[in-house]
Structure 1
Amino acid sequence: MSTFSHLNAGGEANMVDVSDKAVTQREATAEGFIYVSESVITQISEATIAKGDVFAVARIAGIQGAKKCSDLIPLCHPLALSKVDVNFDIDKAQHRIKATCYCKLSGKTGVEMEALTGVNVALLTLFDMCKAIDPGMYIEGVRVLEKKGGKTGHWKSTD
């Protein structure tokens, strides 16, 4: 049975000591979806959203979110990210937009939390920029798709 690495011997919250871990190249990709009305998809596609280029703003927000992960998640280590890439795909048939966030670094701990934070902040920014058109939007399916590096090596979602 595994133990929680974020608890000390007294059961108190504890930042994991990674000082003895090897520096390896680490990568993670996360995705999530925002479900929107047809009107939102049309206005994004035609670049007529009053607040401007929603994908450009949400991309920058997602990158900033990944960079600020350790400020938001209490026991995450501050990481020197070498790459953050945020992208969007419109799925008109399912009335949704997929956001993906890829993070990379050479370090002692993984970047899954940074990729997840980047996706969430990007999706929340899309919500904020489109809420006047469709306040009923919702976010779903945020998850890690793939991670590489560290002692667990390469892991990829199978669904």
Structure 2
Amino acid sequence: MTADVPHKTTTSRATDRRGDASPFALGLLLRRAHWRAAAVMAEALRPLGIELRHFAVLIVLVDRGPTVQRDLAMTTGSDKAGIMRVVDDLERRGLVVRKAVPGDRRARAVEITPQGVELFDAIHVAAEPLAGRLVAELGPGEPEQLADLLTRFAYPAGGEA
């Protein structure tokens, strides 16, 4: 069975090369930018014995305070089993603790420990020299402009954060 797909021939096919004019170009560029940024972040995290998935949870906990696991999963884009493994890893290292949620015997809130905050701060120190590599090709004021554009793209006015 064939789908009803328009058979219009186009000269603009999706690639991830410079100058791609396809409707997918922006998404592909953002994907490539994410891969590049993630590689630099992973390099900063590696000597500290932590992975991006762990750091994502620490970011949420520093930002929001104690957070139930289901909300951590949603916020970090993880699934229930994945977030449990990440929290288990962090708890074994003494970076987070699980605590009972008053009024809900089944829920557990995850809270960052002082050691977790210390590691979180150390990660930022370790990332500082590497972060400059991400924007090395940009001119004066362009890193700030890029951050502003990406912020407005990621958090549209009136949209969900």
If the length of structure 1 is used for normalisation, what is the TM-score?
A: 0.27
Greater strand share, structure number: 1
Q: Which has the higher helix share?
A: 2
TM-score using structure 2 length? 0.27
